[in-house]
Amino acid sequence: MAGKQIWIVDDDIYIGDLLEELLTREGYQVCRAYSGTEVLLLLSNTKPDLVLLDLMLPGRSGEEVLPKLVGIPVIVISAKIDTDSKVDLLLGGAADYVTKPFDSKELLARIAVQFRKIEAREKENSTSLVFEEITMDLEKHQVMVYGDSVKLTRTEYAILKLLMQNPTQVITKSVLLDRISEDTPDCLESSLKVHVSNLRKKLRESSGKDYIEAVWGIGFKMANA
Amino acid sequence: MAGKQIWIVDDDIYIGDLLEELLTREGYQVCRAYSGTEVLLLLSNTKPDLVLLDLMLPGRSGEEVLPKLVGIPVIVISAKIDTDSKVDLLLGGAADYVTKPFDSKELLARIAVQFRKIEAREKENSTSLVFEEITMDLEKHQVMVYGDSVKLTRTEYAILKLLMQNPTQVITKSVLLDRISEDTPDCLESSLKVHVSNLRKKLRESSGKDYIEAVWGIGFKMANA
DNA sequence: CTGTGATCTTAACCATTTCTTAACCGTTTG
DNA sequence: CAAACGGTTAAGAAATGGTTAAGATCACAG
């Protein structure tokens, strides 16, 4: 799986650089923003796994941006947080807060806590996925079709998992490419085409059916019966 | 729609009864629990829309139960909450807190806030547009007219989406051209004409109606009935 | 460290869908 | 009326999807 994407939102270049180095070294994928308005712009394109948010920002303050980040864990990083505003922040949707100057290890630990929370939540919800005759055991990492075990490569497994987690939704090609290619900077569609083709073939061999449907120009989805 | 289900978790019968009457009168569906362990049991069967949680509970304390309620808004109701434990509670996943003795109106307001938050969140990722008999499911990438699925090309879909997102507004031809042809440097109007024509035809086939209205020299809009 | 097999990526090919363009005609505007 | 615009149709151009095969890359055992 690709590294988690973390946004660093701080207009202080020095602190931002420091954070970026720290997080990059830890294997996270980093994206910088320097104003509240920039965050909102970014947000319309993609969504991060976590946000480090300074409160004193040009454009829009951190407090203003916070509500827009609903559903994404936000760790507030700021110099002056008294206990009352801590309460306000947390009520406003922040997942945690750290005061400047912060300790690197502590910050990393708090980030890890957030990701562990998310993982726990995801794991809670599902250890196995089912779509018609396909069963996917996420713990055993095993896929069965009509009772037959089907051997998939890591990429094929990832594609099928994404599709089966959202069985009614169309999954964009770009989303699939994002999740699938770890380090490849710009993985080409030709690759995705082949993976999907191979995946289909394997599923077909055990079932005779074609479970994956192409949506022209957009992506793929599980075929509704 | 059935009323939202709220669990009242408090071993104090008097307060519990008070809450139950208050909430029932407000139209909520109420379920009582008197211990931490009882909450966990209930949880394995169904999930509420919101939980009112007392901290001093037999069996398991509220703090212990809280993490199990991930994903469900919890309002903590307790007598003694100092500022530090407020922070701890919120970090532990509580959505809000109220101290005993509480004001009925205030409690109802805070409950309403939680539900509004959820609604806002749902609306944000909301995924479907409706115009008269046309329904557009943005996740499934599917358009239905009078219950019939209508198959649109990417461009037709984009045009209809833009029009349905602003059902009262006139959408300029240049705006439509911009959004439609991302890479084409200067897409011509003749192309747009054809796309609109094809889109109309497809919608007409399932409904007999013409939903798209031309505004001379400007652009297009959804036809008001 | 090296070889081997599995896996991934890329490129080429073809079939199909979709887009663009141009032509034609009726309607609106000035 | 003439010019511009809107609507429809048809045909060629372009883009996309599916498949296959070959080289590149990775993982791992020896």
User: Does B169 lie in the same domain as B210?
Assistant: yes
Q: Cβ contacts of residue A201 below 8 Å, gap of 6+?
A: none
Phi, psi (degrees; rounded to nearest 5) at B59: 85, -85
The answer to whether residues A86 and B87 touch, using CB atoms and an 8 Å cutoff, is yes
Q: Cβ contacts of residue B219 below 8 Å, gap of 6+?
A: B170, B171, B172, B173, B174, B175, B176
User: Does A43 lie in the same domain as A133?
Assistant: no
Which pLDDT score, from 0 to 100, does residue A1 have?
Answer: 46
Residue A185 pLDDT class (50, 70, 90 cuts): very low
Using the 3D structure, point to which of B64, B97, B124 is the last residue of a domain: B124
Q: How far: A7 CA to C14 C1' (Å)?
A: 44
The answer to whether residues B50 and B25 touch, using CB atoms and an 8 Å cutoff, is no
The answer to whether residues A10 and A54 touch, using CB atoms and an 8 Å cutoff, is yes
Q: Residue type at B145?
A: V
Q: Does the structure show a pLDDT above 90 at A3?
A: no
User: Does B61 lie in the same domain as B162?
Assistant: no
Which pLDDT score, from 0 to 100, does residue B155 have?
Answer: 95
CB–CB contact B140 A168 (8 Å): yes
User: Does B157 lie in the same domain as B114?
Assistant: no
Beta strand pairing call for B5-9 and B50-54: parallel
What is the count of structural domains for chain A?
2
For the segment 185-214 of chain B, residues whose CB is within 7 A of strand D: 189-190, 193-194, 196-198, 200-201, 214
User: Does B135 lie in the same domain as B120?
Assistant: no
Q: Write the CATH number for B63.
A: 3.40.50.2300
Q: Cβ contacts of residue B22 below 8 Å, gap of 6+?
A: B104, B107, B108
**Count of CB atoms situated within 10 Å of the CB of A160:** 25
Percent of chain B with pLDDT over 90: 61
Tallying the residues shown for chain B, one arrives at 225
Beta strand pairing call for B134-137 and B142-145: antiparallel
- B212/A140 Cα distance (integer angstroms): 52
User: Does A34 lie in the same domain as A76?
Assistant: yes
Mutate to test the interface with B, among A88, A163, A216 (most CBs of B within 10 A): A216
- B72/A92 Cα distance (integer angstroms): 16
Please report the sign of the dihedral spanned by the C-alpha atoms of residue B157, residue B158, residue B164, residue B167: negative
Using the 3D structure, point to which of A124, A152, A169 is the last residue of a domain: A124
Q: Which nucleotide minimizes the distance between its C1' and the CA of A198? A: D19
User: Does B163 lie in the same domain as B136?
Assistant: yes
Q: Write the CATH number for B147.
A: 1.10.10.10
CB–CB contact B153 A215 (8 Å): no
Which pLDDT score, from 0 to 100, does residue B185 have?
Answer: 45
Q: Does the structure show a pLDDT above 70 at A125?
A: no
Q: Averaged over B20-40, what is the pLDDT?
A: 94
**Residue closest to A53 by CA, chosen among A24, A28, A81:** A81
User: Does B191 lie in the same domain as B99?
Assistant: no
pLDDT in tens, B163-182: 999 999 999 998 888 877 65
User: Does B171 lie in the same domain as B80?
Assistant: no
- The answer to whether the bond into B185 is cis (omega within 30° of 0) is no
Rounded to the nearest angstrom, the gap between the alpha carbon of residue A225 and the centroid of all alpha carbons in its chain is 29
Residue B124 pLDDT class (50, 70, 90 cuts): low
pLDDT in tens, A47-74: 899 999 999 898 888 889 998 888 899 9
Position with higher pLDDT, A204 vs A179 = A204
**Domain containing residue B206:** 128-222
User: Does B158 lie in the same domain as B93?
Assistant: no
The four Cα atoms A40, A41, A47, A52 give a dihedral, to 10 degrees, of -50
CB–CB contact A216 B153 (8 Å): yes
- B58/B73 Cα distance (integer angstroms): 22
User: Does B70 lie in the same domain as B11?
Assistant: yes
Q: Does the structure show a pLDDT above 80 at A80?
A: no
pLDDT in tens, B64-76: 898 888 789 999 9
- A200/A208 Cα distance (integer angstroms): 10
- A7/B210 Cα distance (integer angstroms): 46
Q: Is the Cβ of B225 closer than 8 Å to some Cβ of chain A?
A: no
User: Does B170 lie in the same domain as B135?
Assistant: yes
Using the 3D structure, point to which of B124, B151, B167 is the last residue of a domain: B124
